[in-house]
Structures are given as structure tokens and as C-alpha cells.
Amino acid sequence: MTVALTTSSSPGLQWDIFCKVVDNFGDIGVSWRLCADLASRGQQVRLWVDDASALAWMAPQGCPEVTVMPWPHDYAKVTPGDVVLETFGCDIAPDYIAGMQETARATGKKIPWINLEYLSAEPYVERSHGLPSPVMSGPGTGLTRHFFYPGFTPRTGGLLREPDLLARQNRFDRQAWLAQQGLALREDERLISLFCYEPPALPELLTQLAAQPQPVRLLVTSGRATQAMHTAVDDKNRLQPSWNNRESLSISYLPVFSQHDFDHLLWAADMNFVRGEDSLVRAIWAGKPFVWQIYPQHDTAHHDKLEALLETVEAPASLRRFHRSWNSVSAEALETLDLAGWTEAARQARTRLLVQRDLCSQLLEFVGSIRTWDGLPLKKR
């Protein structure tokens, strides 16, 4: 997918952003939100990606000032951008780096080279954010790469948040959006969205929801969550046929959503189950109670990452216990849902984080400081 560049009355910088799609579309999801955010602020962006297929449903309308480019590519005729950003240490192609080096030699000006790292609430993020890493070998010898860490404190790079996000939330019409999705709700029916991998505790969650005195509709996202739900429901129907006899729980399977409609889903629900990085941030901005399924790592490093996030958002004790069971950190049964208490905690966390500067604003300022160090004024935005 290629979106033609348009001419801006106040042109910004040309950004080259590199992304490798590893799995689950989190890499491309974060990269696209960043590209679109930069473009909305007057920047021009080329997104170099090895698999752009997900953008067909994730961002079907494209974005002005963003051009999607194939990677790998013949970079011999490519002039490097004013800023080069690699997402999550994806290792830019050596021939492109050679072009950066050639530009530096020809102009005497170094291109800001940034590695956007993974999101974490752990203490090392504050220590590592913004650190330079001189390149000592290979085609980039003599260049400097800087590490930019998203995060939850003022001493980090912040979280992605578009300038118009709050205005869009305020304009959001929940009933109209649900009607567009063909979702006719029962009176007083609670909505819970489910975006997950394959949590072992999913059957237990279904049992709890089916026992709720208030009707519950589970909105299941497309992909792995739908597959996990089908497996869990089939197993429960086989082993415990009467598990939902009261029919208090309804399940709706959703189509693939664009990023905008995924935001709408989180805003419409009374509670959200999310996974990975991008959806966690969007759940925080939704201001609704959320449960995060962290991507599991073989060395259990994700346990510390989970605890750091729970501490940062000041999650209530019951919500912390639920998270540990949901993520198989604890063998304890799932805590009983407490939407009232968890909602207040989610709103307070959102309020605290909204005070902090967003990632894109900080990134633009950071790039400006690097260019100033090299004696280059930052172009108008």
C-alpha cells in the first residue's frame, strides 16, 4: 500500500521509520500510530516495512504525508531522511546505513538516528532513555544512535497520544457506534471486550461472567481471541453443558477492526481485556477498567514487567491478583470482578498520565535537540 505524499504549506522533516513485523501486529500497530501522529504535526514520513499487509485493515484509508515503502529495498538511489528511526531494534539494512554515512561525509551533518524501544514501566527505562550509542564498526562507524524509551513517568519518552484524541473521545456516540456494529443490547447489559492470546484462565472467566446477576456481553476480537474463545466454549459445553443455562452471558464475535474502530470498541465497553503494547496504551486512554495480558517470555522476565505496570497505575489489590492469575503468574483462582472499584482506579491513572507530555511531542523535541547539537536549526513544523 502506497499513499502519495502531498505538499505541505509548512513542510517539516522527512522521517524514515523502519519496522519489522515479528508477530501479532504489535510492531506495525505502534509504528503506524507514530507515523500518523507525526504526519498530523506537519512531518513527512516514509514507513519502511517488511510486511505491510496488516495496514489494509488496520489503516485502510492510509494517511496523508505517509508513504509505505517495501523493505528490503535497493537503497542505492534512496536519499536518507532528515531523521532515521528504527522501531524495537529492528536493524536497519547496512546499505541504507552506508547512505547515511555518505550523507554525513558529504554535508558534514549527522542524521539523527533513533531506536524506539519497547514500552515498560520498569526502573531501567528512566536510566536508559535518551542515551547515545556510538557506532564503532560496520558501515555506520562514527555515527551515533540514540535510544528513546516510551514510558509512564516524566523522565521517559511518554506514551503515544494524538493531539485530537480527547476531542474524539468526547464526540464519541456509543449507542450509534454499537448500532453500526449490529449489536442490539439487552437492558442493563454490561459490555466487556476481549483482546487476548490464549489465557489458561479463560474458561474460569466464562464461568464467572455466566454467574453474574447482571447480563454480560463479551465482545471478542478477531484472530487469536476468537480462536481461544471457540476452544474454551466448546470445552465447557462438552464438560459442563449447563454452565450458561441462565443465559446471563452472551458472546459476540467481531470483525477485523481498523485502529480507529478498535479505539471505539474500548470506549464503548465497560471493561477491556487487552494484550501487548499498543492496546495497553489505548486501554489506558479509554479510562475504563482493563486487564492486560503481557506477552510471555521464556525467562519469566514478563513477571517483573507486569508488576511494574500494576505499581505504576496504582492498581487495587484485587485487580493485581486478577492480573497475576490471568497471566499465569499465580495459580490462584481469578478474583471476582470489581468494575466499580477498578473503574475509579483506571480513571485516576488516566488523569495522572494525561498530565505528562505525549511521546510524539517529546520525540520531535528530542530530534530538534540533536540537530541543534550538530549546528542545524530545526525546520518549522
Same domain, 258 and 327: yes
User: Residue 3 domain-assigned?
Assistant: no
User: Residue 344 domain-assigned?
Assistant: yes
CA dihedral for 40, 45, 50, 56, sign (positive or negative): positive
Q: What are 318's three cell numbers?
A: 484485587
Which residue has better confidence, 247 or 381? 247
Q: Catalytic pick from 277, 278, 335, 358?
A: 277
Over 60: is that where the pLDDT of 195 sits?
yes
Same domain, 154 and 212: no
Same domain, 186 and 121: no
What's the pTM?
Answer: 0.93
Q: Provide the pLDDT for residue 1.
A: 37
**Is residue 145 a contact partner of residue 163, using CB atoms and an 8 Å limit?**
no
Over 60: is that where the pLDDT of 16 sits?
yes
Over 70: is that where the pLDDT of 376 sits?
no
Over 50: is that where the pLDDT of 9 sits?
no
Q: Provide the pLDDT for residue 108.
A: 85
- Of the pLDDT bands very low, low, confident and very high (cuts 50, 70, 90), residue 374 is low
Determine the structural domain holding residue 131 and report its residue range: 14-160+358-373
Same domain, 259 and 137: no
User: Residue 269 domain-assigned?
Assistant: yes
User: Residue 188 domain-assigned?
Assistant: yes
> In the 3-class helix/strand/coil scheme, how is 270-322 assigned residue by residue?
CEEEEECCHHHHHHHHHCCCEEEECCCCCCCHHHHHHHHHHHHCCCCHHHHHH
Q: Provide the pLDDT for residue 203.
A: 97
pLDDT tens digits along 347-369: 999 999 999 999 999 999 999 99
Same domain, 156 and 213: no
Q: Provide the pLDDT for residue 212.
A: 92
Q: Provide the pLDDT for residue 229.
A: 98
Average pLDDT over residues 310-325: 98
Q: What is the rounded distance in angstroms from the CA atom of residue 64 to the CA atom of residue 246?
A: 50
Average pLDDT over residues 314-332: 97
Over 50: is that where the pLDDT of 7 sits?
no
Same domain, 128 and 203: no
Over 90: is that where the pLDDT of 187 sits?
no
Closest CA to 23 of 296, 273, 306, 327: 296
Same domain, 337 and 288: yes
Determine which of 84-93, 96-105, 189-198, 370-379 has the lowest per-residue pLDDT on average. Answer: 370-379
Over 60: is that where the pLDDT of 190 sits?
yes
**Is residue 131 a contact partner of residue 333, using CB atoms and an 8 Å limit?**
no
Q: What is the rounded distance in angstroms from the CA atom of residue 288 to the CA atom of residue 269?
A: 8
Same domain, 152 and 212: no
Quick check: is 277 catalytic? yes
Q: Catalytic pick from 27, 65, 82, 278?
A: 27
Same domain, 271 and 209: yes
User: Residue 7 domain-assigned?
Assistant: no
- The tally of domains found in the chain comes to 2
User: Residue 199 domain-assigned?
Assistant: yes
Same domain, 207 and 341: yes
Torsion of CA 228, 232, 238, 239, to 10 degrees: 150
Q: What is the rounded distance in angstroms from the CA atom of residue 133 to the CA atom of residue 375?
A: 20
User: Residue 37 domain-assigned?
Assistant: yes
pLDDT tens digits along 223-259: 999 999 999 999 999 999 999 998 999 999 999 999 9
Same domain, 246 and 206: yes
Torsion of CA 236, 242, 244, 245, to 10 degrees: 160
Average pLDDT in the chain: 93
Residues linked to residue 17 through DSSP beta bridges, in sequence order: 47, 85
Cis ω before 64 (30° cut-off from 0): no
User: Residue 379 domain-assigned?
Assistant: no
88 sits in the region (left: phi over 0; alpha: psi -120 to 50; else beta) called left
Q: What is the rounded distance in angstroms from the CA atom of residue 62 to the CA atom of residue 57?
A: 10
3-class secondary structure, 352: helix
Same domain, 85 and 222: no
Over 70: is that where the pLDDT of 99 sits?
yes
Within 13 Å and on the Cβ side, how many CA atoms surround 173?
A: 6
Quick check: is 365 catalytic? no
Over 80: is that where the pLDDT of 380 sits?
no
Instruction: Indicate which CATH number applies to the domain containing 34.
Output: 3.40.50
Over 80: is that where the pLDDT of 148 sits?
yes
CA dihedral for 369, 127, 287, 268, sign (positive or negative): positive
